[in-house]
Amino acid sequence: MKEQISFLLASNNPKKQKEMGDILAGLGIQVISMAQAGIDVQPEETGATFEENALIKAKAVCRAGGLPALADDSGLAVEALGGAPGVRSARYCPGTDWDRLEFLLKNMENVPEEKRGAKFVSAVACAWPDGRTAVWRGECPGVLLQAPRGQGGFGYDPIFYLPEYGQTFAEMSQQLKNKISHRARAMEQCAAGLAEQIKTAGK
């Protein structure tokens, strides 16, 4: 029987824990939230890139819990805004997710359809107690609509449209979103990287 390996997740978001846990379960990896491990650290996300912020979180949780830790940092990069809101996606303006969505739409008010390209980006980082680190990046390109569509998802999902599927992230089934999203793409690479590490360690 495959030995189970525990990884701490630098988040208490149950949806994120399930999504990452499902992907890594096949490797014999159990993903534990900070709350389950009794850890309460809130590292300041001072990085200039998604990769830097994911590493800051993974290292802090790894240090606090003494186990390998996973963290992700993700956001929306809009071409017409020079990559903004980027790493500030969750802090783009004060208020709720909806306030941030409306603020983004206002900033995109006079941008024509052909210049409304955007991409969701996710960086997944892993930190080990022995000091090793690794980071993987996933991207999902799309277009920003001028008005929200759909009831699902969260954040900027209702205005993020994928032409090849004819839907926004908020209109899409969770199963499909989990398969094609930026986080899913980063996690696929993460799973492949961790599988290689486990194989090497077992030799």
Active site residues per annotation: 73
Across the chain, how many H-helices and E-strands are there? Answer: 6, 7
Please give the full DSSP string across 81-147, using - where no structure is assigned.
GTT-BGGGGGGSSSS-HHHHHHHHHHHTTT--GGG-EEEEEEEEEEE-TTS-EEEEEEEEEEEE-SS
Burial string for 121-153 (b: 16+ CB within 10 Å, else e) reads bbbbbbbbeeeeebbbbbebbbbbbeebebeeb
- Residues 172 and 194: their CA atoms lie apart, in Å, by 29
Query: How far from chain centre, in Å, is Cα 43?
Result: 17
